[in-house]
Amino acid sequence: MKRSAAEIIREYGPFPDIKAVHGVTYDGSHVWFASGGKLNGLDPDSGKISRSIDVAAHAGTAFDGRHLFQIAEDRIQKIDAVSGAVVSTIPAPGGGGDSGLAWAEGSLWVGQYRERKIHQIDPETGKILRTIESKRFVTGVTWVDGELWHGTWEGDDSDVRRIDPDTGKVLEQLDLPAGTMVSGLESDGGDQLFCGGGDSGRVRAVRRPRRTQESAS
Amino acid sequence: MESLITAAARALEAGDPLGALNRVALRNDAPSLALRGIAMAQLGDLAKAKALLRSAARAFGPREAVARARCVVAEAEIALVSRDLNRPAKTLAAARATLASHGDLANAAHAGHIEARRLLLLGRVDEAERTLAEIAACPLPPASLVVRELVVAGIAIRRLKSKEARTALDLAARAARQADIPALVAEVDSASLILNTPAARLIARGSEHPLLLGEVERLATSTALVVDTFHHVVRRQGVAVPLGTRPVLFALARLLAQAWPEDVAREALISGAFQARHADESHRARLRVEIGRLRTQLKPLAEISATKQGFELAPRKTRDVIVLARPVEEKHAAVLAILADGEPWSSSALALALQMSARTVQRALEELARSSKVQSFGHGRARRWMTPPVPGFPTGLLLPSPLLKA
């Protein structure tokens, strides 16, 4: 396992009237983050919030190319990214103990915080397809280039880690400075991971290390 | 953080404890237990709240020190509101240190305020002030600011500093409006009443009138000889003769001062100071002895001379004698004064605050209850006493919302 300190490239926020960041996703132009009562569209270049959708937003956020998915209480809402309307909802696998959310390969991936689990579910029905065990409380979840990354927060420590999707084994770990919480995670498809900053009300961009020969095997 | 916990915490923050309970009522994980505890506290079920918070503190893992410390602080606040003042201060101090060392300054400050309020209720004003001074300066949410200023005002009132008290109460009122919590606004209002309610009675030259706190304070600069029944001292400006341990001498001094410039008959002194119905020769002999002792004590302040029918006071270096007395003097005024805060008190907490024996307090309470001046509920150790006009149980619970996070 490779372990290093996370390199924080940029910090966004805190923003007025936003107390906490609960989930993060990226639609190719905007970083969307959940702040309890709404979803906020942040322009990562200007650092300004240019759009927002009024919808209950208590935990993870994901994007499938057309829809935003947002966890609220014990369900997952599917939201039309253009109109902001909730199209449908499915039950969340953790029954409300859910934290992170990611879209990949036609499935939704949901972190279950205190159970230290990641579920792969059917986005139409919410049925659990399989479950990966983690060692730590799971916050955000994301897939990029076939890599499964998730955020952790336990005690005072937070990190983002890449795990083997089959075994749950930790392959790589980036430690955040003590007291810096990761509440949501999303990749920009390139070298950056966007991390929700929990109660700090911030969003941070962390560098995703290039995959090396050894860890790719 | 997880979804339902976030939703429940948001409901609590918005003043909707039932909404919070709806979301976590059936869950028994640590954060749910903590949220349920705080919701129950806001709903007034303090016993249940305490049990839930205690199990939450146990359920948080060893790495979740901050969450655990927040539960300890919440439990301490419930203990304070239930006037359970016997709790060891050590656990709260440890939780406070944990919060401070993890950068949760707002909750660390809250823990400090709880400790200061406890000390103030126990009459340990200096320690309350020291505790307040230890709290690191940090931006506080308005609700915490209200508590802080109420403690500052409480200290100032007990020190007879009305200007400081008024400033603190003004700040508290402003913060309470900002916090937009009606219970807090009401608490500040009732605290402010103290400044406009007579704090004492002035008795001079045979007549008496009520004094506000500010007027009592101004007396400190007066040149008169003051017989102070609050502190059981006789003083004139910087010179003070404490008679707290000599109740008979103090009673005599007071009787002489109240009558000044007239004299007081022997019979009146004997019945007033010795609680004797008929004065006989032995009483007269004892009076001579006690007056002799008082004469020695008061030497720097006054002379006591014998008259035809009794004794009279002759103050030195001043032409004024006044007696400062409680607004209402009845046998158990001190007990009633403490119960006037409207909270339910256990007799052991009262004994602690009054520095009296539990048995004495018990007797006073029973006597007051017979004349319907106090009422009690509960049985055995859970029995609580309060003054009747208070509707229901004002909890004054101020558990701050950061308690719920992460």
DSSP per-residue letters across B17-72: HHHHHHHHTT--SHHHHHHHHHHHHHHT-HHHHHHHHHHHHHHS-TT-HHHHHHHH
Tell me the chain A residues in contact with residue B7 when contact means C-beta distances shorter than 8 Å: 56, 58, 72-73, 96
Rounded to two decimals, the pTM is: 0.76
Q: How far is B19 from chain A (nearest CA, A)?
A: 12
Q: Could you say which of B2, B10, B402 has the minimum Cβ distance to residue A113?
A: B2
The pLDDT, as a whole number, for residue B115 is 92
B86 class by beta-carbon count within 10 Å (0-12 exposed, 13-18 middle, 19+ buried): exposed
Substitution target from B1, B3, B24, B404 for chain A, most A beta carbons within 10 A: B3
Contacts of B23 in chain A (CB under 8 A): 73, 96
| pLDDT in the model for residue B388 | 59
Cβ–Cβ contact A113 with B under 8 A: yes
Residue B405 host element (H or E): none
Question: What is the C-alpha separation between B107 and B77, in angstroms, rounded?
Answer: 12
CB B31 within 8 A of CB B5: yes
Q: Is B273 helix (H, G, I), strand (E, B) or coil?
A: helix
**How close does chain B come to A104, measured CA to CA in Å?**
21
Provide the pLDDT for residue A212.
59
CA gap B41, B49 in Å, rounded: 5
Q: Are A58 and B8 in contact (CB under 8 A)?
A: no
Cβ within 8 Å, pair B3-A59: yes
Nearest residue in A to B1, CA atom: A99
Min Cα separation A58/chain B (Å): 5
A139:B1 CB<8 A: yes
Q: Which residue of A has its CA nearest to B59?
A: A114
B6 closest CB neighbour out of A22, A112, A153: A22
d(CA B185, CA B192): 11
Q: Judge contact between B255 and B273, C-beta under 8 A.
A: yes
In B80-119, the residues whose Cβ lies within 8 Å of chain A are 102-103
Chain A CB within 8 Å of residue B63 CB: yes
Question: How far is residue B227 CA from its own chain's centroid?
Answer: 24
- Nearest to A137, CA basis, from B279, B29, B110: B29
**Is B1's Cβ below 8 Å from some Cβ in A?**
yes
| Residue in chain B nearest A61 by alpha carbon | B3
Cα B264 to Cα B279: distance, rounded to the nearest angstrom: 14
d(CA B315, CA B327) in angstroms, rounded, equals: 25
Per-residue pLDDT at B400: 46
CB-CB neighbours of A189 under 10 Å: 10
Total length of chain B: 406
What CA dihedral angle connects B53, B59, B61 and B65, to 10 degrees? 10
Write out the DSSP string of B271-301. Answer: HHHH--SS--HHHHHHHHHHHHHHHHHHTTT
Structure tokens at B30: 């640590």
Residues of chain B with pLDDT under 50: 389-406
Q: What is the largest CA-CA distance in chain B?
A: 88
Low pLDDT (below 70) residues in chain A: 211-217
Residues of B in contact with A181 (CB under 8 A): 406
Helix (H/G/I), strand (E/B), else coil: A109: strand
ipTM score for this prediction = 0.89
Which among A95, A155, A179 has the least Cβ separation from residue B64?
A: A155
B363 touches chain A (CB under 8 A): no
Parallel, antiparallel, or unpaired for β B302-306 and A8-12? unpaired
Q: Give me the residue from B1, B61, B65 closest to A198, CB to CB.
A: B1
A84 neighbors A53 (Cβ within 8 angstroms)? yes
**B22 Cβ under 8 Å from any chain A Cβ:** no
Question: What are the strands of the beta sheet with B264-265, ordered from one edge?
Answer: B264-265, B310-315, B302-306
